[in-house]
Chains A and B, each alone.
Chain A
């Protein structure tokens, strides 16, 4: 493939990834988006900022995370499976990489408050955690339904000193929490930084969040070079909600021969079942009805319950550099159990979408016998234990 030069690169001043991306926000937020873009460009080319971030990721968040050869699973499937262990990062998922980057940037800009949306609560917990670390006020917007379903995470955020605001509009889930976070940001964009949790939102967020998650792919690339005779895996796979763990993973391999595979939730497959649209500041594939009203996503994993997908994934799909597939709830539950019993790793339901694809594809043309696959395990499954217990009854 030769189009890699323009893929997973700087999307330029207009924030476009092919036909997707952009900056569709009310005029009031344009100055804040522009200032954030300026500040990110400056910080990202400032070696002192990058060293500070790298060091904090190391001494606080536990980076680099290991790559674990999944020996028993590999033997059973006839393919070599490597797991990139984001479940071992502080707070239990890759979300901390992005939050630390954005929070240090917010501090650099002189912001005193972080705003965040959250679905399952993982991004909210990561933001509350980093807020405590850096002494920033944190307000997390969460759909009222999710507040009920994820009561433990709500308590964790509060314990960490964050304020959790239940959102009662619309379907009372992640999309509504995101709209509400934008509304509050409009009112305080000079002092508050909106810490978006995935590769979505208006420019520069999709690019900036991918850059903060790039560490996953870059570490894994080096680790694969050590672990695999060929140096690079045949296939790299990650789950896709908004798409941040996948974008960060792909960024490390886009210049190699590895096939890139993103796995959406069957009930929230924006690339699989959506059509082009605009939501929360960006143009991408979107689940919507005939009138253009946004539909609710439905998945066993709250972290993939979002009706859109990061614009760069829409572009990677259209350009053919990455392939997007989906896994349904039953496959995902089975994959969670399988991974737990063969490797002693309890993966997050989100991450188990990627594992489910490996189980399904192993031995087929998609993932032939004897091939190698790197799976990003984006988070740990402790948060899902109670829900899974009910589902397996």
Chain B
């Protein structure tokens, strides 16, 4: 593949296709700039069986991150990573899976939602996860994203009431991001009942793909979550290995293991 940006499929269609084929989606997360070789890591994860990649823009005050992603973010900032540099690097990536950018409101607000979404689009990014922009504040961002062809992925939490789940699923796009816990990002050894419960409620409320994130630490938790959802997002488990100095190939090994676990799930096609 040589020209890349055009080759990256829209997010939701891509995930719906996977769901129709009975394939659970796997979306690993990488903090832009965490290591000098981070773009190579993104490519390695795509080759290892990721269905989309989430790119985190480093931010000085990441209020929803646990210690691992906080450290990754700080390391990236210390090495001079910025939003502009991250997006310039993303534009050069050679990938056949869609990219979703995860970020905090201030990095969007600082440029203005229109300019920010335009830059995402020109870097070949398909989707945006605005972590601390809840639905109530999202109207201008949703409009800007739509006009630049960016899919805005909104998060639901175990505390989200039914009417809000419906509104979030309706106004967001790409997929619905269901948080397995009331808490920050970070690995957990097992998922509580509220994860399955939330996934079931969200699936009942929408036809959009539902992916579960927060606390997915490896094949076991991934399979546990994916039994109730259309896929998983795995962040801290990936970044912990990167921070510990593992090579791109070693980290890709985790993605391969999780891929295998997800492919082993046999689920009756739902009506």
Looking at chain A's contact residues, is the secondary structure mostly helix, strand, loop, or mixed? mixed
How big is the A interface, by class? 35 or more
Q: 1/0 contact trace for B158-169 toward A, CB 8 Å?
A: 111100100010
Residue A233 is within 8 A (CB to CB) of chain B in the complex: no
Q: A24-B105, A30-B160, A186-B182 are in contact. Are A280 and B61 (CB under 8 A)?
A: yes
4 further A-B pairs in the complex, CB-CB below 8 A; given A30-B159, A170-B61, A288-B106: A24-B105, A26-B131, A28-B157, A294-B106
Check: A379 CB closer than 8 A to any chain B CB. Answer: no
Contact indicator A28/B63 (Cβ below 8 Å): no
Q: Which residue of B lies closest to A13 (CB)?
A: B136
Question: What mask results when residues 260 to 295 of chain A are scored 1 for a CB within 8 Å of chain B, else 0?
Answer: 000000000000000111111101001010111110
| Docked complex Cα distance between A290 and B80 (Å) | 12
Q: How many A-B residue pairs have CB under 8 A?
A: 114
Given that A26-B155, A27-B155, A31-B159 are known contacts, is A283 also in contact with B70, CB under 8 Å in the complex? no
* Chain B residue nearest to A296 in the complex (CB): B60
Contact of B182 among A25, A28, A292 (CB under 8 A): A28
Contact with A along B108-135 (1 / 0, CB 8 A): 0111000000000000000000011111
Between B74, B131, B136, B158, the greatest number of chain A beta carbons within 10 A of the residue's beta carbon is seen for: B136
- Docked Cα-Cα span, A292 to B168, in Å, equals 27
Interface size on B, residues (CB 8 A): 44
Chain A residue nearest in CB terms to B83? A291
A292 and B156 contacting across the interface, CB-CB below 8 Å:
no
B182 and A26 contacting across the interface, CB-CB below 8 Å? no
In the bound complex, do residue A294 and residue B137 qualify as a contact, i.e. CB atoms below 8 Å apart?
Answer: no
Bound Cα distance from A296 to B170, whole angstroms: 39
- Closest CB of chain B to A281's CB: distance in Å? 8
Contact B109 A26 (CB under 8 A): no
What are the 10 closest A-B residue pairs judged by CB atoms, nearest first? Answer: A292-B110, A28-B157, A278-B105, A293-B60, A187-B183, A291-B82, A294-B60, A278-B106, A292-B107, A31-B159
CA A28 – CA B179 in complex, angstroms?
Answer: 8
- Of all chain B residues, which has the CB nearest A181? B63
Quote the shortest CB–CB distance from B213 to chain A (angstroms): 12
Of the candidates A23, A175, A183, the one whose C-beta lies within 8 Å of that of B137 is A23
The reply to whether the CB of B22 lies closer than 8 angstroms to some CB of chain A is no
Could you write out 15 A-B pairs with CB less than 8 Å apart? A23-B134, A25-B132, A28-B160, A28-B183, A30-B136, A31-B160, A169-B70, A169-B74, A179-B62, A179-B63, A186-B183, A187-B183, A279-B106, A281-B132, A293-B60
Bound-state CA distance A27–B171 (Å) is 14
Residues of A within 8 A of B83 (CB): 291-292
Residue A111 lies at the interface, judged by CB distance under 8 Å to chain B: no
Which chain A residue lies CB-closest to B156? Answer: A27
Determine the chain B residues whose CB is within 8 A of the CB of A311 once the complex forms.
none
Q: Which residues of A contact B164 (CB under 8 A)?
A: 30
Q: Which of A26, A188, A275 contacts B134 (CB 8 A)?
A: A26
CB distance B184 to A187 under 8 Å? Answer: yes
Are the C-beta atoms of B109 and A28 separated by less than 8 Å? no
Q: Is B77 an interface residue (CB 8 A)?
A: yes
Answer yes or no: B207 CB below 8 A from chain A CBs. no
A169 to B70, CA, bound (A): 8
- Complexed CA–CA distance, A28 and B182 (Å): 6
Residues of A within 8 A of B82 (CB): 290-291
Q: Which residues of chain B come closer than 8 Å to A25, judged between CB atoms?
A: 63, 132, 134
- Residue among B61, B77, B109, B134 making CB contact with A179, cutoff 8 Å: B61
